[in-house]
Amino acid sequence: MAVAALGEGFRAATRTARREVANLARRRFHAPRAGIDRRRGNAVLFAIVSYDKPDALERRLAARPKHLVWLDAAGPSLRYVGPLLDEGGKQRGSIVVTEQPDLEAARAFAKADPFWEADVFGSQTVHEFREVFRDGARVA
């Protein structure tokens, strides 16, 4: 079922979900950022690569509003975010590059993605990431 066809009930549920996820994200993910200070150079980047289950597109579309609210709330810690696409242009996963204090915090952040609750992801990896180029310029 297309998201647009779901109507006002879906929009109301989305508003409620956005409030709930924003509250959760504020409680869980803004406190750890206190340990990150870019001026001192101790920000640690992590790449989170998640692959969807083969039959997950409808669940992904239904959970996307909660996912976007979760990302909005985590905004200050996000460096790059976007879907992985297959050869036909359909979403098949996600990449998130985020600043977190350590690997444990990055894994907790990754597991809090609403796509997990919606049974969208089949697998996920979290790795420390070192940025070498940004906007065409070498930074490391």
Q: pTM here?
A: 0.70
Q: Which helix (H) or strand (E) holds 67?
A: helix 57-73
Domains of the chain, residue spans: 3-138
Tokens of 91: 């979403």
Fold designation for 3-138:
Alpha-Beta Plaits (3.30.70)
Q: Label residue 134 by pLDDT band (50, 70, 90).
A: confident
pLDDT (tens digit, 9 = 90+) per residue, 24-83?
Answer: 555 444 434 444 444 445 679 999 999 999 999 999 999 999 999 999 999 999 999 999
Residues ≥6 apart with Cβ < 8 Å to 92: 51, 52, 83, 84, 85, 86
- Asked whether the predicted pLDDT for residue 7 surpasses 70, the reply is no
Tokens of 93: 């996963």
**C-alpha atoms less than 13 angstroms from C-alpha of 77 in its C-beta half-sphere:** 31
Burial class (CB in 10 A: 0-12, 13-18, 19+), 36: middle
AA identity, residue 97 = V
